[in-house]
Structure formats: structure tokens, C-alpha cells
Structure 1
Amino acid sequence: MKLFDRQANLQAPFQKIVKALAICYTIAICLMCFLPQSIYPTLKSVETPGVQHFGRITAILTPFNTLVHFGKIPSLVDLFFIILQNVANIFLLFPLVFALCLLKPGIRQFKKVLLISFLMSLAIETTQAILDLLFDFNRVFEVDDLITNTLGGVLAYLLYKIVKNNIDSSRKLL
């Protein structure tokens, strides 16, 4: 049995597998993003420059905060962890958006994926701020997370396009 049909859509049994994986990953995102920050082990306390406090809500509202405050990062270890966090945020929505591209032909357009990725990221960041306000979960609303999560969604879309183009090309060769 082939993975994709003639229109480069997933075949039915594989759709079920990808749907199940997408549901599991959505649950994992919720656990990663909405549980109190204090339950996660930390290697060390990294203080990110540019942090602002609005009562119990903590935010970093400066776009490209790491670059803007580069000179204020106290050590190379802190810089490494800050960059690692940004890279991890790029890939936070990547698997989910890739699965959505595989499963939902209606969203397979750049503008739609961009909007969906941004809105998912905004929902995560807003929910984190609300949870911090209500329960003091020690979460931070970050503009850079909106940027990096959205970028991850766009990269997932580009990977989908590459996969689709390779499927289309291989079919033409046959």
C-alpha cells in the first residue's frame, strides 16, 4: 500500500495514524506550555534580559529580544540556553502544522499556514499569561515566541511542499 494517493494526499490508514499522533502531540504541547514552570527541572536559573513585570504577569515584549539585549546576557552559558529556547520554540508547532498540512487540504496555502501558526502561538502565549495571572504558574508572554512558533509553522509548510513536490516528481518519472 502506498503512503500517498495520486493527488499526494495521505491514504486512509495513514491518515488515522497521523491524526492520532497529532492528538498526542497536541496533548504534549498543552503539558509543556500550560503546566506550572516550577515542575520542570532546570539546569540553572537563566535571567533573560528585557523581562517586564505587570503585576503577576511577566512578559518580554521586545521583538528579537536576544539580539536587542545581546550585550546584557551575563555569560556564554546563559546565551546558549536562550538560543536553545528560541530554537526549541521554532520546532514547537512544527510537527503539528506538518500533520495539519498532511491531513487538511484546505490549509495548504502559505497565508493560511502563517495565520494558523500565528493564532496557535498567540493562543498559547495568551493562555500562559492568563494562567500566570490566575495561578502564578511562572510563565512568560514572549513576543519572540510568537515569531519563532510562527516561523516553525512556516517551515513545516515548506517541508510539506518539498514532500509533495517530490511525490509529484516521482510520479511523473513513472
Structure 2
Amino acid sequence: MKFFDEQANLRAPFQKIVKGLAVCYTIAICLMCFLPQSVYPTLKSMETPGVQHFGRITAILTPFNTLVHFGKIPDLVDLIFIILQNVANIFLLFPLIFALCLLKPNVRQVKKVLLMSFLMSLAIETTQVILDLLFNFNRVFEVDDLITNTLGGLLAYLFYRLIRSVTT
């Protein structure tokens, strides 16, 4: 069974499945990104090096913060935890951007995917700041999240291109 038609668009039965999964994943992103941090179990109570506090707003404004403050990370467990956070951020938007590439031919351009991924990430980070101001959700605005989420969008686009080339 072919997933794509002659114009490289996803066939109708698969479109419904992908749309449903995209809606579910969008809800999951909202839950992951907008619930208070206290809802989630804490593995370590360390503060990431480079954190800045502006009243109730917490931010990491240094690009590539883990690399810049590598020597300030106290132990291997903390380093692994920080690296895993960055890897998770790479894949945060991956499923959603991949679904959009499958469903929307007009977004299948690298510039559009990069812009869309960056703007989604910026919206998430900005909303977290607003939630922190209004409700003290203990969220952190991170420049690295903008970078890693955008990278994840790019990887989703490249994965879409690979899947399309293999299956058409």
C-alpha cells in the first residue's frame, strides 16, 4: 500500500490518522510545557549553571549554555540530566512538524519549517514566562530551547524528505 499519491501528498486514509495524532500530540505539548513544574517528578534538585532570575522570571539567556558552563556542572549525573533535557527539546516539536510536512504541502520548504519551528518554540517559551508571572509555575525561558526545538523541526523536515523519497 502506498502512503503517497503521484504529487507526493499523503493519501486520504492516512491523512485522517496523522491529523488525529497531530491533535493528540499538540495537547501533549501543552501539558508538557504549560503545567507547573511541581506536577512533574524531580530527579535532581540542582540549578543549571547560567540561570538568571528576574523577579519571578527565571531564564537561561546564554546560547549553548551547557557548553559555555560545562566546567560548572557538579557531577556526571547532572551533566547527563542536562544533556537529556537538550535531546528531549530537540524532539519536542519533531512529531508535530513531521505531521505538518505530511499534511500541508505549503510548509514543505526548509525556510518555512525553520521559521515555523522557531515561532512555535518562541510561543512556548513566551507563554511559560507569562504563566510564571501570573501563577508562579516555576518555568524557565531558555534560549537553548529555541535552538534545540528549531533543530528538531529541521530534523523532522529532513525525515519527511527521506520518508517521501523512500516510499514514492
TM bucket (normalised to shorter chain) is over 0.9
Q: Deviations over 1:71-128 (max 9, x none)?
A: 0001110000000000000000000000000000000000000000000000000000
- Please, what TM-score do these two structures have when normalized by structure 2? 0.98
Q: Which residue of 2 aligns with 1:19?
A: 19
Q: Which residue of 1 aligns with 2:147?
A: 147
Higher RCO by CA contacts (8 Å cutoff, separation 6 or greater):
2
Q: Deviations over 1:37-83 (max 9, x none)?
A: 00101122132000000110000000000000000001110000000
For residues 167 and 14 of structure 2, the distance between their equivalents in structure 1, rounded to whole angstroms, comes to 16
Q: Which residue of 1 aligns with 2:78?
A: 78
Is 2:12 aligned against 1:4? Answer: no
Asked if the contact 1:36/1:139 (under 8 Å) is kept, the reply is yes
Asked if the contact 1:93/1:153 (under 8 Å) is kept, the reply is yes
For residues 144 and 19 of structure 2, the distance between their equivalents in structure 1, rounded to whole angstroms, comes to 29
Is 2:29 aligned against 1:29? Answer: yes
For residues 4 and 46 of structure 1, the distance between their equivalents in structure 2, rounded to whole angstroms, comes to 48
Higher Rg of the two aligned structures: 1
Shift of 1:167: 2.8
For residues 55 and 9 of structure 1, the distance between their equivalents in structure 2, rounded to whole angstroms, comes to 49
Q: Deviations over 1:117-167 (max 9, x none)?
A: 000000000000110011000000000000000000000000011112223
Segments ≥4 residues shifted beyond 4 Å: none
1:127-166 → structure 2 map (5 Å cutoff):
127-166=127-166
For residues 158 and 62 of structure 1, the distance between their equivalents in structure 2, rounded to whole angstroms, comes to 27
Asked if the contact 2:91/2:149 (under 8 Å) is kept, the reply is yes
For residues 6 and 166 of structure 1, the distance between their equivalents in structure 2, rounded to whole angstroms, comes to 14
Is 2:120 aligned against 1:120? Answer: yes
Percent identity, aligned pairs only, is 85
Query: Which consecutive unaligned segments of at least 5 residues does structure 1 have?
Result: 169-174
Asked if the contact 1:46/1:81 (under 8 Å) is kept, the reply is no
For residues 77 and 91 of structure 1, the distance between their equivalents in structure 2, rounded to whole angstroms, comes to 21
Asked if the contact 1:47/1:78 (under 8 Å) is kept, the reply is no
Paired residue total: 168
Deviates more, 1:97-106 or 1:43-52: 43-52
User: RMSD over aligned Cα, in angstroms?
Assistant: 0.8
Query: Which consecutive unaligned segments of at least 5 residues does structure 2 have?
Result: none
